[in-house]
Amino acid sequence: MKKITLVFLLALLSWTAKAQYDTLSVQELQMVAGAQLAACNDSSAYIGDTVFVYGTVVMDPGLAQAAGGRNIWIQSGTGPWSGIDIYTTGVPTPVPGEDILNLAKGDSILVKGIVGRFGGETELFPLNVEVINIERPVHFNHVDVGELSDDMKENQLETGEKWEGVYVEITDVTVISVDNFGGSRYSFDVSDVNGNVLTISDRFLAQRTPQNNPQGTFIPPVVGAKYDTIRGVILHGYPNGCLPPNGSALLGYDLDPFDPDDYVIGASAPLISSKNRNPVTPKPSEDVTISATIVDPDGVVTAAILFYAVGESNTSFQQIPMTNTGTTYLATIPSALYSEGDIVKYYISATDDSSLTSTSPVANAGRPDFFVVRDNGTTIYDVQYTIYDNGASGYEGFNVTLEGIVTATSQSNDLGYVYIQQEGATEWGGISLAGNSKLNDLSRGDKVRVKGVIQDVTNFALTRLAEITEVDTISTGNPVPDPIELDPGDFTTYDIDLTEPYECMLVKLKNPSGGGVYIVDENADGPNNNFAEYRIGASQFDPSSGSRVLTGRVTTSAFSSLYVSYINDSTWLSNSGIMNVPACVISAGDTMTSVTGIMYYSFGEMKLLPRNNDDFENYSGANCPDGMSTTSIADELAGSQVKAYPNPTQNQLFVEYNFPKPVSGQVRLFDIMGRTVAGEKVQGKEGIMNLDTRLAAPGTYFLTIEAEGVLIDHKKIMIVR
């Protein structure tokens, strides 16, 4: 009897907990009325609500690039409105209950989560995951491309929104363009028989090549290739068929395959892969051999030709037939045709027994591969200078050795990332370094020789040297290169000719007419987003003109300094990195003589990364005292002690603090959406406070203790019932 009573009690408690929130079907959560869609409003009615949702996992976890692999899609049955993105925040910390990474395709789950929205896509941020059943069937829906987008690739919100987050298939499509937008990252556009166009994108590992995914098997298609079927989930960025809130040119629907079997190729031209050249950077006296693997999935290769042209502006390509041993084809460009400093362009063409022809790169002469002839070896200029309109390097994927002076380091009171610059360079002379612990020992002014692989960083198209195997310090104490002085207005928008030459270089932004520069926009992505970027310009009254500045934020997609006080919101004290210096929230109209930093590129924008407060010259603002200290809070308040108990807790949380000196601050308990559920002021040197947590729902919370405007400590708190 006692056992039965206990079981009944547990069931009653579980039912009571669920009764606090709505239990919805995926369809109820996702459905948007036609009138809303006609008015370009695709927002769920439940944004911000905590709900329970049942669904079947449509893919194995770990396949998505976001959230450490804890990003999956679930589906409830089939048909319109039946799928949704489960996006785990707080990575790598799992949510309570079943870890997303332990799930499997076909698991039926109950998710308690908060309904959110990123861009134009409805997402569910899980608070708890419970497995209900396993090995359930996973279904897909046939969708016509025209339901999603038209012949101009503009999304059709009224007919396409019902497929957001749903596992679908499209059939009988032809590849019309291929975009290499991150070195080894590819998306491609397909067209149906009616001319409607859809992007096939790479949210999942299935569309990643071996260059940035060791298990990757994806070979980019060629223009003209046909697919009998492509399957995947429909994702949705901002509504490009409507006017976006901030007027930006943004993305609409795309299809994202998650399994290699999601691609069913039809009649195909030859596939060209595993390209190589030897040597990577030839001397004027060295021939260059170009090789590649060429196969035809549905026939045989009948011819392969290497096309090459010497000189950046030369459009007259010469031809050399390629010889083969099995599937390996090669041809040699003779050194007699080029000289020191020449740019040599090349591409490969292959034809099969069905007279179908492919080229690599797919844009052939429009965007060929290229290299520079150098008697003294590869320079930073060579790997950064580009003939492409997307800023990509001609050395992507190749091992090179480079020399330069360190301009930013990972040491205390610096940017947190290592950059070097070619001596004497005024353009195309800087590069980011990554992938070797010896980099942490470098100081500004060190002259170094480093060997690694050139990459165009995924998501950013930023050229860097990674997978570094050798770090040799040639000399120390050298002068750091003087920053290149530029007008912040030059970086208002990305321009391949005007702004790309300064990627990764040390620059100083100042008013070309004399006087100072201003904070012209407190939030460059407002009002609907804030990515810690503000804008500085030479004209106080023009918020649209000027360079972005990124400070106080470190994530997998933001790489700024935590030693800069000047931030655009107090949330960056502890959100996306813990700041190491006193903070000052900037205001429009604040002035400075100049700002120095590393010029960086990500997500279609150039932005300045100041290294520390010394990079701001004569800052003056309403909230910011002159000469902000660069002293670390660890030095100012060394020995601070903060305890929070009990943890887990139910109805109350005690916070005990002891500081080396009297302080004024705040203790705050907030949920994963950043909403404060309890808090009190801190005043004095030591004390104890009692936070009331009775009204907080069970789940994961975060406790922060701020003193004198800086974060002292942060802890994860569990509330249970």
Query: Does residue 452 carry a pLDDT above 90?
Result: yes
Q: How far apart are CA 69 and CA 94, in angstroms?
A: 11
Q: Which helix (DSSP H) or strand (DSSP E) does residue 192 occupy?
A: none
pLDDT at 183: 55
Q: Is the per-residue pLDDT at 156 higher than 70?
A: yes
Residue 508, pLDDT > 90, answer: yes
Predicted local confidence at residue 665, as pLDDT: 78
- The tokens of 688 are what? 């104890």
Higher pLDDT, 713 or 519: 519
pLDDT at 95: 62
Least confident range from 115-124, 296-305, 557-566, 649-658: namely 115-124
Confidence of residue 311 (pLDDT cuts 50, 70, 90): very high
Q: What's residue 244's pLDDT?
A: 46
SS3 179: strand
User: 610: which strand partners?
Assistant: none
Which CATH topology does 637-719 take? Immunoglobulin-like (2.60.40)
Token pair of 501 as six digits: 């030459």
User: ∠ at Cα 444 (443, 445), nearest 5°?
Assistant: 110
With beta carbons less than 8 A apart as the criterion, state whether 656 and 642 touch: yes
Examine the pLDDT at 20 and tell me if it is beyond 80: no
Strand pairing partners for 649?
719
Q: What does the chain come to in residues?
A: 721
Per-residue pLDDT band at 404 (split at 50, 70, 90): very high
- Model pLDDT for residues 566-605, shown as the tens digit of each residue: 999 988 988 888 888 888 999 999 999 999 999 999 877 8
Among the listed residues 275, 280, 281, 346, the one whose alpha carbon sits nearest the alpha carbon of residue 309: 346
Q: Give all strands (DSSP E) within 605-708, no chain letters.
A: 605-609, 616-617, 641-645, 652-670, 676-692, 699-707
Contact 109, 98 (CB under 8 A): yes
| Strands of 571-651, DSSP E | 584-585, 591-592, 594-602, 605-609, 616-617, 641-645
* CA-closest candidate to residue 568, choices 547, 553, 580, 546: 553
pLDDT of res. 103: 92
Phi-psi region of 326 (alpha: psi -120 to 50; beta: other; left: phi over 0): left
**Residue 1: its pLDDT value, please?**
35
Given a cut of 70, whether residue 119 has pLDDT beyond it is no
Name which residue leads in pLDDT, 645 or 455.
Answer: 645
**CA end-to-end span of the chain, whole Å?**
24
Higher pLDDT, 350 or 632: 350
Nearest to 699 by CA among 169, 278, 4, 113: 113
What's at 653, amino acid-wise? L
SS3 337: helix
CATH number of 271-372: 2.60.40.10
Q: Is the pLDDT of residue 162 over 90?
A: yes
Q: How would residue 681 be classed by pLDDT, with cut points 50, 70 and 90?
A: confident
The arithmetic mean of pLDDT across residues 240-249, rounded, is: 48
Predicted pLDDT at 708: 65
Helix (H) or strand (E) holding 72: strand 71-75
Decide if pLDDT at 506 tops 70.
yes
Any bridge partners for residue 633, and if so which?
none
What is the structure's pLDDT at 449?
Answer: 98
**pLDDT band of 666, cuts 50, 70, 90:** confident
Place domain 141-265 in its CATH homologous superfamily.
Nucleic acid-binding proteins (2.40.50.140)
Top mean pLDDT of 31-40, 47-56, 220-229 is at: 47-56
Helix (H, G, I), strand (E, B) or coil at 647: coil
Mark 608-619 as b/e (b = at least 16 C-beta within 10 Å): bbbbbbebbeeb
CA 351, 352, 353, 356 dihedral sign is negative
Instruction: Show the tokens assigned to 8.
Output: 């009944």
Could you tell me which CATH class the domain 380-475 is placed in? Answer: mainly beta
Number of Cβ atoms within 10 Å of the Cβ of 438: 13
d(CA 245, CA 138): 36
**Of 124-128, 429-433, 640-644, 664-668, which range is least confident?**
664-668
**What's the rounded Cα separation, in Å, for the pair 180 and 252?**
19
**Token pair of 327 as six digits:** 């599937």
Q: How far apart are CA 659 and CA 651, in angstroms?
A: 27
Pick from 7-21, 68-82, 460-474, 659-673: least confident: 7-21
Provide the 3-class DSSP secondary structure of residue 176: strand
Measured CA angle at 199 (ends 193, 200), to 5 deg: 100
CB count within 10 Å of CB 64 equals 22
Q: What confidence category does residue 626 fall into, taking pLDDT thresholds of 50, 70 and 90?
A: low
Q: For the chain, how many helices (H) and strands (E)?
A: 7, 43
Question: What was the pLDDT predicted at 417?
Answer: 96
Identify which has the larger pLDDT, 387 or 200: 200
pLDDT for residue 88: 77
- Residue 527, both tokens: 């009002």
With bands split at pLDDT 50, 70 and 90, how would you rate the model's confidence at 182?
low
Q: What average pLDDT does the structure give for the chain? A: 87
**Cβ-contact 490, 498 below 8 angstroms:** yes
User: Does residue 515 carry a pLDDT above 80?
Assistant: yes
Position 50 scores a pLDDT of 92
- CATH architecture for residues 2-133: Beta Barrel (2.40)
Tens-digit pLDDT profile for residues 338-386: 999 999 999 999 999 988 888 888 767 778 999 999 999 999 999 999 8
DSSP-based three-state secondary structure for 207: helix
What is the mean pLDDT of the segment spanning 480-498? Answer: 94
Residue predicted with more confidence, 637 or 474: 474
Which pLDDT score, from 0 to 100, does residue 94 have? 56
Q: Are 518 and 537 in contact (CB under 8 A)?
A: yes
